[in-house]
Amino acid sequence: MKLKKCYGRTPAQIQAIRPLKDGVIADFGATQLMLKNLISKVCQRYNVIRPRVVVGVPSGITEVEERAVEESVLQAGAKEVYLIEEPMAAAIGANIDVAEPAGNIIVDIGGGTTEVAVISLGGIVVSNSLRVAGDELDEDIINYIKREMNLAIGETTAEQIKIQIGCAMPLMADMSMEVRGRDLTTGLPRNIQVYSSQIQEAMAESISEIVECVKQTLEKTPPELASDIVEKGIVLAGGGALIQNLDKLLSIKTEMPVYVAENPLECVVKGTEKTIEDLEKLKSVLINGRRRK
């Protein structure tokens, strides 16, 4: 059973928690336990004692949050810890040549944060980190259905609605799905039909914030890099990139071409993988380029 499916379904004696929230550590102890388990599996599989670890972090992370991440990973059994900003990792995972002397813009819409970054010569020139992303969109759907349909649903159900019929602009044909929840008047289970146009309305405010974040980043971009971006377009990564018509909405609002990366869900993971495989070459893209033991 996937752990995510346990959320909201546990008995009284079991508590399902999320060690990470908004892209940073929310529960230090739980994060350590999770990392210890993951590192232990890696050590057993690849026959290593203490591995080197690259961790993706939000671009707006504070020094205190950086140290918390490093400390957690080291105490979990890592030999060395390197931090890479998630938009940089996403760009590498999306096969963007981050070392070239030209502007590229990546928009990584994850669970806790939306990361927007203009990258050139192996570094982030301009960036924006917004704590509005997939989790916030799920919350928007929960609140909308509660307010408009008098039905209580959980986070897992909201996420499924977002994935299946969520959209940023009207679709050619309105999609629908059956949703089960608890009636707030009777307290009894009830089924309703939910439409993509309703979910678009539910997510509209948060989607607007994401679009505005991208526009603000473009406004701060140096002219030479801006001309490169006009030619190359905007690349979308992360789970949020899969929301229907989000690329079209962003293209209309920015008057630029927008592309969804191949396998957008895996871009950050693939980027960290490529970084650790070629650590010496890509060391300049890391936040902490020096080794920390």
Nearest Cα residue to 214 out of 179, 181, 238: 238
**Contacts of 22 by beta carbon, 8 Å cutoff, 6+ apart:** 58, 112, 113, 131, 135
Q: Is residue 234 a contact partner of residue 257, using CB atoms and an 8 Å limit?
A: yes
Q: What is the mean pLDDT of the chain?
A: 90
pTM for this predicted structure: 0.88
Residue 1 clears pLDDT 60, i.e. is over it: no
Query: What sign has the CA pseudo-torsion 97, 235, 208, 200?
Result: negative
Burial class (CB in 10 A: 0-12, 13-18, 19+), 26: middle
Nearest Cα residue to 126 out of 97, 111, 104: 104
Mind listing the pLDDT tens digit for each residue in 149-176? 999 999 999 999 999 999 999 999 999 9
Which domains are present in the chain? 3-90+269-285 (3.30.420.40)
Residue 19 clears pLDDT 60, i.e. is over it: yes
Assign 222 a pLDDT band (cuts: 50, 70, 90): very high
Residue 34 clears pLDDT 60, i.e. is over it: yes
Assign 292 a pLDDT band (cuts: 50, 70, 90): very low
pLDDT of residue 8: 65
Residue 128 clears pLDDT 80, i.e. is over it: yes
Q: Is residue 130 a contact partner of residue 210, using CB atoms and an 8 Å limit?
A: yes
Q: How many helices (H) and strands (E) does the chain have?
A: 10, 12
Q: Per the structure block, which two tokens stand in for 119?
A: 């990258």
Mind listing the pLDDT tens digit for each residue in 141-156? 999 999 999 999 999 9
